[in-house]
Structure 1
Amino acid sequence: MDYSDRRKSHRRRMLQGGKIVYGRSALLIDCMIRDLSEEGARLKVASARDVPDNIRLFNSGDNTVIDAEVVWRSPREVGIRFNGKVSPISESDDPKIRNLRFHD
């Protein structure tokens, strides 16, 4: 099935490191951001079943975080829809989010 027809905005292909944040910001899953739009993203992960339904996505390219929900899964990828606005990690009320940094 071609999902591109259902998208409201164009997705940019990219290969950007990130982290899936969940569990009161205490748990992290490394990911690669493969596609990105204003409404959501496609993330490559080691195992999609390990990703909870509601997450925060940390984008290491611009040190931002955004709330999101998983809308589809394949074995090693998840599609997410954003549920808020992008915020710089430096402005977060959560000290664990403020201290996030991408490490290779």
Structure 2
Amino acid sequence: MSMEQRRQPRLRVFLKGRIHFNNGSSSIDCLVRDMSSTGARLLLSETATLPEKFDLFIPQKERTFRAQLRWRREDGIGVTFDNGAESPETAPDLTMTTLLRRVGELEAENAALRRRLAQMMEAAALAI
């Protein structure tokens, strides 16, 4: 979409983002490079097949936008935000549920890493 077709000019930004899809079960990191109240240009950290619609969470703005894929190029994708509205996932109860689930996942990962570190230290002590 050329600049002339946009309703709002996009500002150059450098924001970390996370794309969520498949009802929140899949996610991909991204970098938001241009953004307006109606859309954005994203650089993806992974090449993946994205659905036509997904949620874009931008931690620095503490907002999740419902995004629709408009174009795809080798260097990124362009999206528009559905009526500039936030995703329903930003409702406090859903956000808290998502955060609690993520905390549980991180605690389990932390415990697994501590076990692995203990095993490595034990093996190193035996090797001495």
What range describes the TM-score normalised by the shorter chain of this pair? 0.7 to 0.9
Q: Work out the CA distance in 2 between the residues paired with 1:80 and 1:97.
A: 25
TM-score of the superposed pair, with normalisation by structure 1: 0.80
Higher helix residue share: 2
Between Structure 1 and Structure 2, how many residues are aligned? 100
CA displacement at 1:89 relative to structure 2: 3.6
Residue 97 to residue 69, structure 1, CA distance change in 2 (3 Å): farther
Deviations 1:45-96 (A, max 9, x none): 0355522211100001122101111000002311001014136846253522
Structure 1 SS opposite 2:94: coil
Match of 1:30 in 2: 29
Aligned to 1:86: 86
**CA apart distance, 1:11:** 0.6
Identity %: 24
5+ residue gaps, structure 1 = none
Decide whether aligned partners of structure 1 residues 44 and 100 sit closer, same or farther in structure 2, where only a CA change above 3 A counts: farther
* Larger Rg over CA atoms: 2
Q: Which has the higher contact order (CA 8 A, sep 6+)?
A: 1
Letter in 2 for 1:55: F
State the TM-score, normalized to the length of structure 2. Answer: 0.66
Residue range with higher mean Cα deviation, 18-27 or 92-101: 92-101
**Any stretches of 5+ residues in structure 2 without a counterpart?**
104-128
- Matching of residue 54 in structure 1 with residue 56 in structure 2: no
Question: Partners of 1:81 and 1:3 in 2: how far apart?
Answer: 13
- Larger strand proportion of the pair: 1
Q: Which runs of 4+ in 1 moved over 3 A?
A: 46-49, 87-90, 97-101
Q: Partner of 2:31: helix, strand, or coil?
A: strand
